[in-house]
Amino acid sequence: MPSVSNPLVYVLAFIAVVVLVQTLAGVFLSAGDRARRVNRRLTMLDAGMSRDEVYSSLVRRAATPGMRSARLIDLHARVEIYLRQAGLSILPIHLLAIAGGIAGALWLLALSLASSGGGSGLLVSGALSMVGACGLSALGVFLWIRRLRNIRIRKIEEQLPLALDIVNRAVRAGHPVISAVQLAADELGDPVGSEFGLIVDETTYGVEFKESLANFARRTGSPDGHFFAVAVSIQSETGGNLAEILEGLARVMRGRHTLGMRVKSLASEGRASAVLLSVLPVGMVGFQLLVHPRVYLDKFSDPIFWPVVFITGVIYLIGWLIVHRIINFKY
């Protein structure tokens, strides 16, 4: 790369880092602000927003941006549901932009360091550095969103038995089921408080109660949420004492949560080892491609290189599946 382009690379790298820092600061500050609020839905209602506007902001899906392939539409929907289960209101295209910005910043930084050293094959090295930057960016964004989703599901499973107790007492006192759910939505904080409020909003707009419960289970991604939706749906069709069903369901949820915490504590060492063994190889390969791509570039002409890469990838995938089955217990 000519020496004239070096200042341009530094300027672009500086701009990319500034944009990245501003984006991450906005995300973390907004997350902290959400944590300080008791209930997102009630806060938005208190701010003067109508129920329809709140529902549109928290639930309604945006139109799929010009996709004709059924697989792309299905992938877009899955990513959008995964983001909502993590408590993020951003769209998949925004997530792609964030990951692309991080990858671009890493790539420009690696390219500026490579250009200072000079040498031949800089174009191929830059392409390999781009692969490494994209891999590290995708891995980091995925781990961040997965952590947010796990934290939110854990909070839902902790709050849901208490919410069922509130609904149970309200039903025993003579309130309709939807009024009991509204009471739990007003009393509890995020995330169950907002999710129960959305159940009430959907029912108000004409959606059947059991369908709104199914949407609640789909939005949260919690197994306990699915148990609650299925139990109430069966009771609405076959009849029975709803108060006793909710009381038994809350007791079962508390028992499952206690057992799950004991299992996770006993398997914590294995889970930490599994995460390290799964993330470390991908991270190291991506980091090596980013900072010193010629290590792999010099081996491309070796006839045994690509077969070894393929065999290593297959072994890594098999090992990941085995470790995943070992540390994920069914209870």
Give 117's pLDDT tier (boundaries 50, 70, 90).
very low
Rg (CA), the chain: 25
Query: Considering the entire predicted model, what is its pTM?
Result: 0.69
Instruction: Out of 54-58, 130-134, 283-287, pick the least confident.
Output: 54-58
* Percentages (nearest 5) of helix, strand, coil residues in the chain: 80, 0, 20
Confidence of residue 145 (pLDDT cuts 50, 70, 90): very high
Helices (H) and strands (E) in the chain, counts: 14, 0
Q: What is the pLDDT of residues 3-23, one digit of tens each?
A: 445 555 555 666 666 666 666
Least trusted range by pLDDT, from 27-31, 102-106, 239-243, 249-253: 27-31
Residue matched to tokens 């390290």: 276
Query: What is the rounded CA–CA span in Å between residue 96 and residue 156?
Result: 27
Residue showing tokens 């915490």:
261
Q: How far apart are CA 24 and CA 19, in angstroms?
A: 9
- Alpha-carbon span 227 to 249, nearest angstrom: 8
Kindly tell me if the per-residue pLDDT of 263 is higher than 60: yes
- Whether the predicted pLDDT of 122 surpasses 80: no
Above 60 in pLDDT, residue 31?
no
- Alpha carbon separation from 123 to 104, 184, 297 (Å, rounded): 16, 60, 11
Q: Give ∠ CA 236-238-244 in degrees, rounded to 5.
A: 70
Lowest-pLDDT range of 36-40, 179-183, 294-298 = 36-40
Mean pLDDT, the chain, integer: 78
